[in-house]
Structure 1
Amino acid sequence: MSRDLDDLTRFLHLGLTVFGILALLTGLWAGDYKRVHHMGFSAHKWLGLTLSFFMAWRIWHGLYGPREARFSQWVPYTPERLKLAWEDCLTS
């Protein structure tokens, strides 16, 4: 398994990090949640929508992107190893 990720995956992770932190900070800064037209609420809303876009893009990229960026690569176990572990559990 390669640890080198493509530039798009790095960009997606950077976007998730930056917009996640900014959405959090503007949410804390927004203050008056009863005033929907407050500047802090508007900034928080748009940053949150952008974060949602990056999340959806990352999920799509994790399912259909390059093999190194797929979610299936997170678990370092192969079917053969899982079978051996299962058989070991049954014999114990």
Structure 2
Amino acid sequence: MNQPDRDFPDESRTIRPHAGESIEDTRNWPGLILIGVGLALLGITLTAAGYGFGGWAVIGGVACVACLLAGTALVVAEHRRVKAQK
């Protein structure tokens, strides 16, 4: 029978020794901040579209997509860098 405390840390499913370590790694912060800004821009874009400001909705939509893509790319790149070190 497999005891959970024997398999700690679970190297087969994670590359980090403990939960939350990706947030502690300061190299992830720019990507996480960009994702947060992208989510805020999504709300701003939906509000602008709801009030009928089409031009601002387009600008916000483009900025939202750019922030989300750049943030995701940075987080994935850092994940691959850490995984390559192991």
TM bin (shorter chain): 0.5 to 0.7
In structure 2, the gaps of 5 or more residues are 1-16
Counterpart residue number, 1:84: none
CA distance in 2, matches of 1:55, 1:28: 24
Counterpart residue number, 2:32: 13
Which residue of 48, 66, 77 corresponds with 2:82?
A: 66
Structure 1 segments, 4+ long, off by >6 Å, are none
CA distance in 2, matches of 1:46, 1:14: 14
Structure with higher Rg: it is 1
Query: Per-residue deviation at 1:51?
Result: 1.5
Query: Per-residue deviation at 1:50?
Result: 2.0
Shift in alpha-carbon separation, 1:15–1:21, aligned structure 2, 3 A: same
TM-score of the two chains, using structure 2 as the length reference: 0.52
> Would you say how many aligned residue pairs link Structure 1 and Structure 2?
64
Calculate percent identity across the aligned residue pairs. 12
Which residue of 29, 42, 50 corresponds with 2:48?
A: 29
Q: CA RMSD in A?
A: 2.7
Task: Please list the CA deviations of residues 30-83 of structure 1 after superposition, one character each: whole Å capped at 9, or x if unmatched.
Answer: 2449x5xx1222122122222111112222222x1225xx9xxxxxxxxxxxxx
Counterpart residue number, 2:70: 53
C-alpha contact 2:41 2:63 (8 A) present in aligned 1: no
CA distance in 2, matches of 1:27, 1:49: 16
Amino acid in the other structure paired with 2:38: F
